[in-house]
């Protein structure tokens, strides 16, 4: 995700966590006595969104307003102390910087105190924000609008910001607070939670069917390209104008603190889209990131390493752990996607591999030398019979997959039943496709797909006078001579 550039426009705040203990009740009234121990300050709201963007390795720019006060200075210090963010903070005297103070005892929130003014910003502040946005947005890939309903994102500013981003061809991701999704008209993606969805669409999404129905209403209201409904322990539901509805199960082992989880979701979505991933894959990443951040205390962020580990945990058994693995087509697609997230080059080759010979070994070694992980498509028994005749294969698909899996050059094996691996290649999207030099590149199945995706096709030199057919015929002659 390095190289992605995301600009976040939204309400900022200072998150203050005051740690303490309670060991008695006040004699003055039946209330707990909080014993102060320590406190920590974190960038909150849109500032936490950019903190998460930076933690994922992308370039983050923050555009917002703050008051002329000590809280604004503390917010700037906390931004600089926690991450590499470029803050563009417009100061105004007509409102204080928002501060949220949480009193925490043994990880549990006892009380939250908010200091804020939520009236809309002045026309002059709107003008300054739009001027800054027009100056800086062209150098970014994605615009995130983080609406905390603190007065920054007026209808006019929101409409103008989205219009500018669309005119520049930028993706626009919105974390909404308004119950009128029309405020975010023509955004690329809107990410309401369950309560926000119910307020805007009239349906509480506590089932997949209700989430889909609410999503359809939300798309109609907002004219957005897609809506990702975050449903807490029920996961997420992605509803798009085109394409199937995607329901993603929550990936949460233990919840310590949900503060800032929505910021992590929208930051991950923005970085993923800025990196060129489709919205469906961006949603999977955001779900995994949310599962990590709610397992931390306080307003937290997610690193690339944590995100990769979370994804591998989701697909436990798909990631190679010392020995090659046999995958289904769906598992192979996910496996390849995870490897690319690790910046690895994914290679693919295919064949019957009935009687393994030096030509096969040469091809597989050549392929593995030119990629970081090699997926081998293996023709099923039925497929081999159609291609080679009823006497083939000599070895079953299970036996052939076991032999291939024993080779150090092979990372994963996928059995396919079609005559060609075209659909498998379409799913895996390999960076490099390998075949023997007895083919022309234009005749290699799937070459068009790989080349269209910016990959390459490499042809391995042949080992002369070896093939499974020759080996089988030689064995037959030996047996006939012996009889």
DSSP per position, 432-479: EEEEETTS-GGGSTTHHHHHHTT-EEEEEPPPTT--HHHHHHHHHHHH
The H or E element containing residue 111 is: strand 108-115
Distance (Å, rounded) from C-alpha 125 to C-alpha 150? Answer: 14
Distance (Å, rounded) from C-alpha 354 to C-alpha 391? Answer: 12
Which of 175, 263, 354, 431 is catalytic? The answer is 263
Give the tokens for residue 30.
Answer: 């039946």
Q: Is 70 a catalytic residue?
A: no
Pairing of the two strands 98-105 and 108-115: antiparallel
Helix (H, G, I), strand (E, B) or coil at 425: helix
Give the tokens for residue 334.
Answer: 């996910």
Helix (H, G, I), strand (E, B) or coil at 300: coil
Residue of 53, 39, 120, 118 whose CA lies nearest to 87: 53
E strands, 314-423, in order: 325-327, 346-351, 373-379, 412-416
Contact (Cβ atoms closer than 8 angstroms) between residue 170 and residue 141? yes
Could you count the other beta carbons within 10 Å of the beta carbon of residue 103? 20
Give the tokens for residue 227.
Answer: 């809506």
Pairing of the two strands 12-25 and 32-45: antiparallel
Cis peptide upstream of residue 367 (ω within 30 degrees of 0): no
Indicate which residues carry an active-site annotation: 263
């Amino acid at each position: 995700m390095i190289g992605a550039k995301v600009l976040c426009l939204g309400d900022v705040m200072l998150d203050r966590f005051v740690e303490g203990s309670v060991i008695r009740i006040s004699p003055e009234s039946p209330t707990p006595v909080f014993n102060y121990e320590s406190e920590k300050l974190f960038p909150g709201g849109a500032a936490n969104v950019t903190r998460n963007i930076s933690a994922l390795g992308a370039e983050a720019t923050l555009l917002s307003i703050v008051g002329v006060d000590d809280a604004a200075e503390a917010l700037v210090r906390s931004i600089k102390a926690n991450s590499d963010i470029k803050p563009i903070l417009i100061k105004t005297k007509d409102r204080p910087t928002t501060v949220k103070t949480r009193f925490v005892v043994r990880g549990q929130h006892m009380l939250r105190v908010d200091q804020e003014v939520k009236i809309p910003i002045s026309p002059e502040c709107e003008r300054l924000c739009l001027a800054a946005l027009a100056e800086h947005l062209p150098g970014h890939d994605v615009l995130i609008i983080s609406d905390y309903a603190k007065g920054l994102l007026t209808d006019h500013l929101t409409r103008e910001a989205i219009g500018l981003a669309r005119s520049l061809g930028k993706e626009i991701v919105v974390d909404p607070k308004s119950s009128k999704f029309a405020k975010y008209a023509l955004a690329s993606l809107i990410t309401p939670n369950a309560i926000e969805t119910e307020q805007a669409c009239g349906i509480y999404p506590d089932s997949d069917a209700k989430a889909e129905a609410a999503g359809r209403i939300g798309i109609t209201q907002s004219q957005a390209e897609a809506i990702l409904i975050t449903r807490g322990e029920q996961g997420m539901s992605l509803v798009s104008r085109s394409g199937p509805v995607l329901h993603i199960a929550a990936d949460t082992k233990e919840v310590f603190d949900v503060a800032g989880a929505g910021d992590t979701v929208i930051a991950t979505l923005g970085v993923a889209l800025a990196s060129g991933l489709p919205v469906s894959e961006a949603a999977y990443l955001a779900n995994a990131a949310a599962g990590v951040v709610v397992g931390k205390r306080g307003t937290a962020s997610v690193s690339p390493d944590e995100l990769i580990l979370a994804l591998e945990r989701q697909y436990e058994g798909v990631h190679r752990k010392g020995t090659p693995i046999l995958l289904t087509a769906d598992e192979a697609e996910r496996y390849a996607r995870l490897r690319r997230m690790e910046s690895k080059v994914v290679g693919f080759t295919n064949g019957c591999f009935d009687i393994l010979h030096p030509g096969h070994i040469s091809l597989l070694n050549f392929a593995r030398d030119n990629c970081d992980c090699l997926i081998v498509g293996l023709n099923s028994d039925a497929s081999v019979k159609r291609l080679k005749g009823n006497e083939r294969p000599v070895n079953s698909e299970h036996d052939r997959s076991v032999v291939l899996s024993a080779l150090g050059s092979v990372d994963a094996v996928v059995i396919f039943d079609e005559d060609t691996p075209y659909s498998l290649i379409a799913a895996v999207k390999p960076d490099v496709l390998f075949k023997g030099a007895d083919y022309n590149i234009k005749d290699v199945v799937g070459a068009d797909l790989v080349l269209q995706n910016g990959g390459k096709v490499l042809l391995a030199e042949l080992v002369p006078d070896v093939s499974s057919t020759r080996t089988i015929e030689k064995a037959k002659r030996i047996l006939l001579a012996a009889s």
